[in-house]
Chains A and B, each alone.
Chain A
Amino acid sequence: MSWLRRTVIWLALGAGLLAPIAVLGVYAFSQRWFYPALLPPEWTASTFVRQLTRPETGTALLNSSLIALLVSLLALLVGYPAARALELGQLPAKGLIYALLFVPTVVPTVATGIGLNILFLRLGLAGTRLGVALVHLVPVLPYAVFTLGGVFAAYDPTYEAQARVLGASRWMIWRRVTLPLLLPGLVVTALFAFLISWSQYVLTFLIGGGQLVTLPTLLFTTVPGGNQATTAALALVFVAPLFVVIALTARYLAGSRVRGGELLLQ
């Protein structure tokens, strides 16, 4: 009975994860697959290769990567001192600051983007990677501070004091004590920032002003066109890098004590 229950659950979990990817995969590599054929009559990689080698896809891939990397970097640089101060400094207003940071994560991106659209146009930031990255920081930065806050809450700063007593310089303390202890948490924070930025459509659309093409905006305009193989192929190009990034950081994910439930809805 127990093994039956387990098998059913494993199948359900696996299907939940793999079904959409499988559907996208079959459509992306199918040719002339019309209703009611159960399986594609012909398989081809040409649709996928055409989507991958299209100049627009290249531009979108580059823009998405540069923006997501910039967002991750900024989230770490700005979020690190903030989270350390919140958790290890003596602040009376800690709860209030966390509450304030919570607000931008739940306000719908449509509302945030509409509000910033005109201002960014005026500042000349609309349609630029920097402008889009700045706006992505609105939902990303609070998450980075929450995640890093959790990391610092479990961090014991007296290790640094011990190294100082033993005569280590500030740089050596950071490099040899702080960084190794915090590394899993830092990697996970960067990963979260990358994921949110990579998947962001509304903010990119409203601030990119249609000029800045990223993978989500390209994909979004492809869907109404109707060609299912093209849409599926582009969707695979969009998600594949995410799984590469997750695979690369998997060992830190397991090592860090970051709670999965805190990972985002967006």
Chain B
Amino acid sequence: MSRAYARTWLALLPALAIVAVVFGTSVLYGVSQSLGWLPFLGQREISLDAYRTVMFGADHRREFWTALAFSLWVSAAATLLAALLALLLTLALGPQMRANRRVLTILNLNLAFPHLVWAIGLLLLLAQSGVLARIAAALGWIERPADFPVLVRDRAGLGVIIAYVTKEVPFLVLILVAILRAQAESYTAVAQTLGANRWQRLRYVTLPLVLPGLLAGSLLVFAFIFGAYEVPALLGVRYPKMLAVLALDFFLNADLRARAEGMALSVLMALVVLLVALLASRLRRQAVRP
């Protein structure tokens, strides 16, 4: 092994060590405790009890399957809507605005806005006595706050979906703009010279170019929403809960044995997220290749 080669690895070592040690121990501890290895409670037997209790036990199975279905519903609905809106907004921007630095700055600023504050803003905007309800009352559409539809802290997850759709549209638009600026504008020009009309250019040039990237980005968004905590904790209800909220509830339970169940939940959730995210990164690599 040459010296240069050894130095390269040495330069990588601190970063890899931090990620491997901190993240690695997290995975190791999480998985082993979900399997019932809780030495501080005197429990040293490996079993799938926690998984069984959470998924099939009479006390928790309804809560678990509801949370799983609810997480899937919220993540899928928010992702689909965000992807559709992002595509429409990107197309509406047109080549000139897509290259406009101020447009990109606004989108980036949106991205930098913390989810926590975004959720609080929506809470104040959409609550039954919030800003929109006041406007509706001023217009004479409603009389009492109760007449205003329940848009946040609702059982269908509307508030959480609205929060994620509005928050992830800029993320997806930036991905689409990057793809279009890198390749599509010149292809579009060629197609135009060859006599393709607007619809043909969209159908045969632009869409095939952006769809793989949009799909990859959407899967990342799905994975992120599926495992997120703050927004559903603030804009959600006690029942149904999303998986991340349920997992943390179990973990913080005064009964220490519930910890193993909380870990089991978080391992299951992380597995779903990882699968989706790996699929996304695979698709993205294919999308980047011409």
Contacts and interface: CB of A to CB of B under 8 A. Distances in A.
Interface stretch (B26-34, B57-65, B195-203): B26-34
A37 B12 CA distance: 60
Interface stretch (B47-55, B186-194, B204-212, B219-227): B219-227
A147 to B, nearest CB: 13
Contact of A35 (B4, B19, B97, B134): B134
Interface string A68-106: 000000000011011011100111000001011111101
A contact patch SS: helix
Nearest to B9: A85
B208 to A, nearest CB: 19
A264 to B, nearest CB: 7
A142 B19 contact: yes
Contacts of A54: none
A115 interface: yes
Contacts of A254: 101
A36 interface: yes
A9 B166 CA distance: 15
A158 B228 CA distance: 44
Nearest to A201: B230
A69 B266 CA distance: 30
B12 A85 contact: yes
Given A9-B93, A20-B121, A261-B174, A110 B248 contact: yes
Given A20-B118, A103-B274, A115-B29, A265 B220 contact: yes
Given A17-B106, A108-B270, A114-B30, A36 B174 contact: no
B116 A108 contact: no
A84 B124 CA distance: 46
Interface in B68-121: 89, 92-94, 97, 101, 103-118, 120-121
Interface in A92-148: 97, 99-104, 106-119, 134-135, 137-138, 141-142, 145
Interface stretch (A161-169, A179-187, A230-238): A230-238
Contacts of B229: 108-110, 201-202
A79 B11 CA distance: 9
Interface residues of B, number: 94
B36 interface: no
Interface residues on A, range: 35 or more
A131 to B, nearest CB: 10
A142 B244 CA distance: 23
A14 B22 contact: no
Given A82-B14, A116-B22, A108 B117 contact: no
Contacts of B66: none
A24 B175 contact: no
Contacts of A264: 111
19 contacts: A23-B121, A24-B121, A35-B133, A89-B11, A91-B8, A101-B19, A107-B273, A108-B228, A111-B26, A115-B29, A141-B18, A141-B19, A216-B114, A220-B233, A232-B124, A235-B117, A261-B217, A263-B171, A263-B174
Given A116-B26, A246-B109, 20 more contacts: A13-B103, A23-B121, A27-B124, A89-B8, A90-B8, A100-B16, A106-B224, A107-B27, A108-B228, A111-B30, A115-B30, A116-B25, A118-B33, A145-B15, A198-B114, A216-B116, A220-B234, A228-B124, A253-B108, A260-B104
Interface of A: 5-6, 9, 12-14, 16-17, 19-21, 23-24, 26-27, 34-38, 78-79, 81-82, 84-86, 89-91, 97, 99-104, 106-119, 134-135, 137-138, 141-142, 145, 195, 198-199, 201-202, 216, 219-220, 223, 228, 231-232, 235, 238-239, 242-243, 246, 250, 253-254, 259-261, 263-266
